Amino acid sequence: MADDAEFLTDMLLEAFNWSGELRFDREQVLADDHISRYVDGWPRAGDFGVVAVGEDDARLGAAWARTLTADQPGYGYVADDVPELSIGVSPASRGQGVGRALLTALVDAARARGLDRISLSVEPENRAAGLYRSAGFVVVGRNGGSDTMVLGLGAG
């Protein structure tokens, strides 16, 4: 996935602009250290992710996880040993199960790595919040206007 860094940036932009309102453009995402840390230097040791590809080989979305630290936390930071999930789906592919498939594949990859849990940040109004709840994520805190959610990855 080393060659996917640009696409992950595109999907991060989709994630931040989930409502359809242009809250950030690509330049702003890359210039903001708190946002760009989700993709800067992709991949680093410990990073992992998946890309959804359609029948015509078009990339539909991506889900990836990166471990961030207390001195440079992400929006869904829980602990230094808990990777934070990011997921983005192209607007034309939303509502077709792509997000659920990406989430399932990333959770499976996290379990295969022997991780205990993963976290994420989502605004409660975002339709994806329901997807995360249905997958077993639970709210453990709040950061600004977003909920921090965690999924335990024990046997199951």
Domain extent at residue 6: 2-152
Identify the DSSP state of 72: B
Average pLDDT of span 6-19: 90
Q: What is the pLDDT of residue 23?
A: 86
Band of residue 156 on the pLDDT scale cut at 50, 70, 90: very low
Dihedral (Cα; 88, 39, 64, 111), 10-degree rounding: -160
Nearest-CA neighbor of 102 among 136, 64, 47, 63?
63
The CATH number of the domain holding residue 7 is 3.40.630.30
Q: What is the pLDDT of residue 13?
A: 92
pLDDT surpassing 50 at residue 151 = yes
Q: Are the C-beta atoms of residues 81 and 100 closer than 8 Å to each other? A: no
CA dist 126 and 32 (Å) reads 22
pLDDT surpassing 60 at residue 2 = no
Per-residue model confidence as pLDDT tens digits over 86-140: 999 998 898 899 999 999 999 999 999 999 999 999 999 999 999 999 999 999 9
Please indicate whether residue 22 or residue 147 has the higher confidence score (pLDDT): 147
Number of structural domains (the chain) is 1
Q: What is the pLDDT of residue 47?
A: 95
Half-sphere exposure of 6 (CA within 13 A, CB side): 2
Average pLDDT of span 27-53: 92
Per-residue model confidence as pLDDT tens digits over 53-67: 998 899 999 999 999
